[in-house]
Chains A and B, each alone.
Chain A
């Protein structure tokens, strides 16, 4: 019986490590609007939906956040690499503009870093 628990447990650890820390693919590709901004609409409910945003380098990005819950935890979104933040009142649309970026990935989080999103910048 012991070896079942041991091997099962270790396998489970492997799965968890891969699932949370392993390479992640996908993400929503963002389209460019008439004014030249790449516009990403994000629904804030228990996190950011979608949470992985794929944008092109060299073009400004416009986020439109809509928070549909009253929980206090994600009442603010922070883009630490850009020194930008915005409060997200429940039910209101909030626009955050970011400058054109170099390729790479940039995080955005709630004030306490519990909810996380990623901007993936490609050529």
Chain B
């Protein structure tokens, strides 16, 4: 290595380090910004919790002096106890205002609009306990019996403390469930090396314009979407596609903002605004989907709009019944029952179950390169029975590649490849490019041919090294009078394997066969196997002839084939499958698949395809791999299961908690909940829903 080179490389390393530092720095900045609003809320709630918790200690001590051995200090009915209780009342008021103020503000704002929410229940319960205690302290004579003139300042402070703690933990966990988006957003570097007047300048992202040339070195991130103009490299696109194998990038290939350059350096031209970039689109789509509603939520919406006023009414009814029919002192039992009922009811758990799981599930999909566009698609995807797959470009690579070379004369495989590549290099035909590509791959250099001529519908002819060459189908060979010995028996068997054989005649003799086929994607077999084992029927649909279609279907283990279907009839065929009473998904990539994607109950687009197909789809697989179909169905099944668990938990909690709080168990068991237990249960219930949703993040999507 000479000194100049060493200098050059050293320079690169320096720049790289600087870049890494810069991008880390900017990512942190962004991360902090994303985090700050939730972090700030969490910290403020924790501060409120500590304040309430600390004040609760003396309040509890004074509420139960005998229990803590303070009976001598504050004897029952004494002046000391009265004063101590008054001070506790003021401390409790302080806690209610400083730690629980938002419940009251929220209640007031709601009342102005004639609506009630969780705040209403907590505020009503807490203030009922405090006001009762105030009356008991100052006007004990209005109570029929002296022991009823008890104070409940402990209820006031402890309930406030527990509910605030519950919300703090909820905020924390909720932040984690929308992590997926924050992670995606944080992926984009904030600066890039732009070439301006022939020099590289580091420019902030906002100043980059369409048409700018940006240089990317190994280890750097691509700042924004564009097209490679020079250089080549392998780029890790896993943040977009979930696919961990780096993708080769050469001239004219597209690169995407946020992806990581691994091996080489290249320059690309910016083709999109930041807001139109793939990453921005994905973030936008995921946000939209996370906010969308799923059909099951309609029931929950109905319930929650009646829930809070319903609970208040139940609490009043409970009060009346206990006052009229309960044991003495009626006031006290009635109050405890009413306050406990208000506090144990948790509309929050009910309201949170679906959105929490939806956010987490859709986020989980996005991390793995699966964009689920709506909650509805997610709900239907778990009920799928049939998966219709387009053949070309979905099950297969979508472009032909060379599969066999069969020598029939005196030439070797290498010579046959060289000759066929040489004769085909001038041709525009897609089959020709498959041969030329293979030759380049094998390191053979095609030579110049003379007298090249394409014979439409037949093949090509030309002269190489003075030898007359014909290359084409069997018809061409027959017309040119080439002896067909050997050719014939290969023709049928290759077609049965889904291959297109091309025959090579050299100086009037059979030279050999070169076969080309659209090869099956390497994941197709395992994906289809997996789908079948998940209880789904897989159907292949294609415009190709029956023979080729059957051949491919056999390779990947598909039993049901719809062949020779014209593009305009694909949707019709999907509809027929639906008429069998099944939920049908269509997987496709081409523009011609769009109507079928729309017709299907769930349209799944392979993202490497066209924008039209993506627009028409409910689920988009950003990586070209079919593995996404399995993952999408797994995400959908797991998310819906999680949603039902969350909803079930929330319904059951309220369905059991509220009657117990009302005292239905009392006549049989003598059990009556204390408001303190109710507050703990309430805080715990919303937390359970959040934690349940977070379990989705551990969902395993990989398979072999």
Residues of A near any B CB (own CB < 8 A)? 2, 5-6, 9-10, 12-13, 16-17, 19-21, 24, 45-49, 51-52, 70-72, 76, 78, 80, 83-87, 89-90, 107, 109, 111-116
Query: In the complex, A107→B304 CA distance in Å?
Result: 13
Query: In the complex, A19→B308 CA distance in Å?
Result: 12
30 contacts between A and B (CB under 8 A): A5-B324, A6-B320, A6-B323, A9-B316, A10-B320, A12-B316, A13-B317, A16-B313, A17-B309, A19-B114, A20-B308, A20-B309, A21-B309, A46-B105, A47-B109, A48-B113, A72-B41, A76-B291, A83-B292, A83-B293, A85-B291, A89-B37, A90-B37, A111-B291, A111-B355, A113-B305, A114-B304, A115-B115, A115-B117, A116-B115
Q: Which 7 A-B pairs have the closest CB atoms?
A: A85-B291, A112-B351, A46-B109, A20-B309, A9-B320, A51-B113, A80-B293
> Cβ of B229 < 8 Å from any Cβ of A?
no
Q: Is the CB of A16 within 8 A of B320?
A: no
Q: Is the CB of A13 within 8 A of B115?
A: no
Query: In the complex, A115→B110 CA distance in Å?
Result: 8
Q: Is the CB of A46 within 8 A of B319?
A: no
**For window 303-351 of chain B, which residues contact chain A by CB distance below 8 Å?**
304-306, 308-309, 312-313, 316-317, 319-320, 323-324, 334, 347-348, 351
- Nearest A residue to B309, CB-CB: A20
Min C-beta distance of B577 to chain A, whole Å: 26
- Nearest A residue to B288, CB-CB: A85
Contact status of A70 and B309, CB under 8 A, knowing A20-B115, A86-B291, A114-B118:
no
Query: In the complex, A107→B291 CA distance in Å?
Result: 15
Q: Is the CB of A13 within 8 A of B313?
A: yes
| Chain B residues whose CB sits within 8 angstroms of the CB of A20 once the complex forms | 114-116, 308-309
> Cβ of B654 < 8 Å from any Cβ of A?
no
Q: Is the CB of A71 within 8 A of B102?
A: yes
Contact status of A112 and B355, CB under 8 A, knowing A71-B102, A85-B292:
yes
Q: Is the CB of B293 within 8 A of A78?
A: yes
- Nearest B residue to A75, CB-CB: B37
| Chain B residues whose CB sits within 8 angstroms of the CB of A24 once the complex forms | 114
| Chain A residues whose CB sits within 8 angstroms of the CB of B253 once the complex forms | none
| Chain A residues whose CB sits within 8 angstroms of the CB of B309 once the complex forms | 16-17, 20-21
Q: Is the CB of A87 within 8 A of B38?
A: no
| Chain A residues whose CB sits within 8 angstroms of the CB of B40 once the complex forms | 70
Q: Is the CB of A72 within 8 A of B306?
A: no
| Chain B residues whose CB sits within 8 angstroms of the CB of A109 once the complex forms | 301
| Chain B residues whose CB sits within 8 angstroms of the CB of A83 once the complex forms | 292-293, 374
Having A83-B374, A85-B292, A116-B115, one finds 18 other A-B pairs with CB under 8 Å, namely A6-B324, A10-B320, A12-B316, A13-B317, A17-B309, A47-B109, A72-B37, A72-B41, A72-B171, A78-B292, A80-B298, A84-B288, A85-B291, A89-B37, A113-B304, A114-B348, A114-B351, A115-B117
> Cβ of B234 < 8 Å from any Cβ of A?
no
- Nearest A residue to B117, CB-CB: A114
**A2, A46, A87, A113 — most chain B CB neighbours (10 Å):** A113
Contact status of A46 and B106, CB under 8 A, knowing A83-B374, A113-B300:
yes
Q: Is the CB of A47 within 8 A of B291?
A: no
Min C-beta distance of A47 to chain B, whole Å: 5
Min C-beta distance of B104 to chain A, whole Å: 10
| Chain B residues whose CB sits within 8 angstroms of the CB of A5 once the complex forms | 319-320, 323-324, 334
- Nearest A residue to B349, CB-CB: A112
0 or 1 for each of B484-524: is its CB under 8 Å from A? (1 = yes)? 00000000000000000000000000000000000000000
| Chain A residues whose CB sits within 8 angstroms of the CB of B105 once the complex forms | 46
Query: In the complex, A84→B375 CA distance in Å?
Result: 12
Query: In the complex, A111→B110 CA distance in Å?
Result: 17
| Chain A residues whose CB sits within 8 angstroms of the CB of B320 once the complex forms | 5-6, 9-10
| Chain B residues whose CB sits within 8 angstroms of the CB of A10 once the complex forms | 320
Min C-beta distance of B131 to chain A, whole Å: 15
Min C-beta distance of B178 to chain A, whole Å: 9
Contact status of A47 and B316, CB under 8 A, knowing A20-B309, A80-B301:
no
- Nearest A residue to B376, CB-CB: A83
**A10, A70, A86, A107 — most chain B CB neighbours (10 Å):** A70
Q: Is the CB of B37 within 8 A of A9?
A: no
Min C-beta distance of A31 to chain B, whole Å: 21
Query: In the complex, A85→B116 CA distance in Å?
Result: 23
Query: In the complex, A21→B307 CA distance in Å?
Result: 11
Contact status of A112 and B348, CB under 8 A, knowing A5-B320, A16-B313:
yes
Query: In the complex, A90→B109 CA distance in Å?
Result: 18
Q: Is the CB of B319 within 8 A of A9?
A: yes
Q: Is the CB of B316 within 8 A of A113?
A: no
Contact status of A114 and B313, CB under 8 A, knowing A20-B116, A87-B291:
no
Q: Is the CB of A16 within 8 A of B312?
A: yes
Query: In the complex, A85→B287 CA distance in Å?
Result: 8
Q: Is the CB of B110 within 8 A of A46?
A: yes
Q: Is the CB of A112 within 8 A of B115?
A: no
Min C-beta distance of B305 to chain A, whole Å: 7
| Chain B residues whose CB sits within 8 angstroms of the CB of A16 once the complex forms | 309, 312-313, 316
Q: Is the CB of A71 within 8 A of B41?
A: yes
| Chain A residues whose CB sits within 8 angstroms of the CB of B116 once the complex forms | 20
Query: In the complex, A13→B315 CA distance in Å?
Result: 10
| Chain A residues whose CB sits within 8 angstroms of the CB of B391 once the complex forms | none
| Chain B residues whose CB sits within 8 angstroms of the CB of A89 once the complex forms | 37
